[in-house]
Amino acid sequence: MTLRQELTSLISKTSLQVTETQIEQLVQYVELLHKWNKAYNLTSVRNPSEMLVKHIMDSLMVGEVLTGNRFIDVGTGPGLPGIPLAILYPERNFVLLDSLGKRITFLRQVVFQLKLTNVQPVKSRVEEYQVEQAFDGVLSRAFSSLNDMVSWCNHLIAAEQGRFFALKGQFPHEEMTQLPAHIELVKSYEIHVPDLVGERHVLELKKSK
């Protein structure tokens, strides 16, 4: 089976609406990731078929819970979940933030080859990144703890409508008890990723008034 057929099969197990063009872009992204990974070591997942499940589908399924139009993916690595989400939602804008130059070099190549007009890769540490306009949402699957995420990304979102979307495996009960007093859980979503073994959760957090 080709990667395109595999991805089409995975998507058919969900309620996602994905066009043929978007499927083509997602496959191209996986092919680029696989090619660059040999030299740049961008992900520990080596097999393109595994990338479809662990990277592409895992990212796409997050889209159903997002609200807003301007997002920043902090510690994006090779563009996860930002690139798949940007392909799925061309009307939304994504800043992909990472401090490692080789990752940003790769992402610029992805943006160029896939002709993505709604993605801006930025090389910076999160605490040094200054924003002119607050984002609707901060996305991340990179932080070791929720406390780190909300502390370091606090300046990136607006107080009223801004949201943190933390991508986690199992529900992080202990981390929830360590959150600062001004952060509250809006909702926890259990995400079902086709063919993925293990739990996935997205926690939507906001600043309380």
End-to-end CA distance of the chain: 52
DSSP-based three-state secondary structure for 150: helix
Alpha carbon distance 123, 167 (integer Å): 21
Is 127 labeled as ligand-binding? yes
Alpha carbon distance 185, 88 (integer Å): 26
Assign 3-class secondary structure to 22-70.
HHHHHHHHHHHHHHHHHHHCCCCCCCHHHHHHHHHHHHHHHHHHCCCCE
Is 75 labeled as ligand-binding? yes
Look-up of token digits 């360590």: 178
Look-up of token digits 């609707």: 136
Is 126 labeled as ligand-binding? yes
Mark the binding-site residues for S-adenosyl-L-methionine, compressed into ranges: 75, 80, 126-127, 141
Mark the binding-site residues, compressed into ranges: 75, 80, 126-127, 141
